[in-house]
């Protein structure tokens, strides 16, 4: 059970006074987190001569929801979490931004939640600075797709002011066009309309966004990899340095305990389930065939490991922090 800290009590009694209430208000704690944060919020590993730093942004302990996976029950989801060695009373969704130092450039792979998605996230900037990085010296930000947990870190809360005005922000043309089309708002489910409005209020006014077609090289040794389905223009990122390679899958395999083990599960966050599955299988088969490492934005921290075939699905082994 959550035990109220002194600060929570003060806030609660302050609000009670403000509302003229005599009884104490009960406030749901924002940080009642069961999963311990990693001992270090940043971990650096080598891919050839490139340095990849996994920067921890927080974790969402998502309550179970029967609608989360269309073709799996809550009991199936719980069993999959347990099989991956994770707690089964919630879906564990960590957020980790990979920062790549390659060819003298500093490249962010997505931008974090900006502390605007879940109360238990928003640690990216503190951990990024603790790792020795400076937000004003980021050269390039690669955007995998436009879900809030990947792009809200680009914009200040309330003002939408750009957090990285000096960086070039690279996004697949298909993804940019989908979200900035004024007509998309009417087609999106209600839960996504606000996201599209925020994108349309910011991206078209920013001068440092570049749309990229195909699988172009976008930073030294880094290419986009077309992985549509999760969103229409989702892209993974491939890093090559010397003989070493890493596939930064981002949300292609978003919660690996669920969709790496069961690539055919239709998660609610995959906008087009069939193409998401096809992209996922193709990417994992490539990683296995090429014998290279794979990272993921929602993999257990530090979010990098190896994939192997396992029955009808796949199995991820994550390197320990
Ligand atoms: Zn995500």
Average pLDDT score over residue span 174-201: 96
212 lies in a domain? yes
Residue 13: is its pLDDT beyond 60? no
Structure pTM? 0.89
Contact 307, 299 (CB under 8 A): no
The total of structural domains in the chain comes to: 2
Position 309 pLDDT exceeds 90: yes
For the stretch 138-171, pLDDT in tens is 999 999 999 999 999 999 999 999 999 999 999 9
Q: For 232-253, how does the pLDDT look when each residue is reduced to its tens digit (9 = 90+)?
A: 999 999 999 999 999 999 999 9
Query: How far is ligand 1, taken at its centre, from the CA of residue 205, in Å?
Result: 24
Together in a domain, 57 and 91: yes
Whole-number Å distance, alpha carbon 269 to ligand 1 midpoint, is 9
Q: Is residue 26 part of a domain?
A: yes
Which structural domain range is residue 132 located in? 42-318
Q: Which residue has the tokens 């910011």?
A: 202
199 and 235 in one domain?
yes
Q: 318 CA to middle of ligand 1, Å?
A: 18
Same domain, 25 and 146: no
Same domain, 46 and 24: no
Domain of 53: which CATH number? 3.60.15.10
pLDDT above 70 (res 17): no
Q: How far is CA 183 from CA 196, 202, 229, 272, in A?
A: 10, 17, 20, 19
- Per-residue pLDDT, averaged over 196-214, amounts to 97
State in Å: Cα 39 to ligand 1 middle: 23
| Residue 5: inside a domain | yes
Q: 67-83 pLDDT, tens per residue?
A: 999 999 999 999 999 99
pLDDT category at 64 given cuts 50, 70, 90 is very high
Please report how many Cα atoms fall inside a 13 Å half-sphere around the Cα of residue 149, on the Cβ side: 20
Q: Are 110 and 223 found together in one domain?
A: yes
């Amino acid at each position: 059970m959550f035990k109220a800290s002194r600060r929570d009590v003060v806030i609660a009694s302050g609000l009670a006074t403000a509302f003229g209430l005599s009884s104490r208000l009960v406030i749901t704690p924002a940080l009642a987190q069961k999963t311990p944060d990693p001992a270090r919020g940043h971990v650096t590993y080598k891919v050839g001569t490139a340095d990849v730093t996994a920067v921890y942004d927080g974790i969402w302990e998502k309550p179970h929801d029967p609608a989360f996976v269309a073709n799996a029950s809550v009991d199936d989801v719980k069993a999959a979490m347990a099989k991956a060695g994770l707690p089964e009373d919630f879906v564990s969704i960590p957020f980790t931004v990979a920062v790549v130092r390659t060819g003298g450039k500093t490249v962010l792979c997505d931008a974090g939640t900006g502390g605007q998605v879940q109360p238990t996230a928003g640690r990216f900037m503190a951990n990024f600075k603790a790792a020795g990085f400076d937000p004003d010296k980021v050269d390039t930000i690669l955007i995998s797709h436009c879900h809030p947990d990947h792009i809200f870190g680009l914009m200040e809360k309330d003002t939408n002011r750009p957090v990285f005005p000096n960086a070039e922000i690279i996004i697949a043309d298909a993804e940019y066009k989908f979200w900035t089309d004024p007509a998309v708002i009417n087609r999106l489910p209600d839960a996504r309309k606000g996201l599209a409005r925020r994108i349309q209020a910011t991206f078209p006014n920013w001068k440092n966004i570049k749309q990229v077609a195909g699988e172009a090289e976008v930073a030294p040794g880094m290419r986009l990899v077309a992985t549509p389905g999760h969103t229409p223009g989702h892209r993974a990122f491939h890093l090559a340095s010397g003989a070493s390679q890493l596939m930064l899958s981002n949300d292609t395999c978003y919660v690996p305990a669920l969709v790496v083990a069961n690539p055919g599960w239709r998660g609610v966050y995959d906008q087009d389930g069939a193409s998401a599955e096809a992209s996922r299988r193709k990417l994992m088969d490539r990683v296995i065939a090429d014998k290279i490492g794979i990272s993921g934005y929602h993999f257990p921290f530090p979010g990098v490991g190896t994939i192997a075939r396992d029955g009808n699905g796949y199995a991820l082994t994550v390197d320990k922090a």
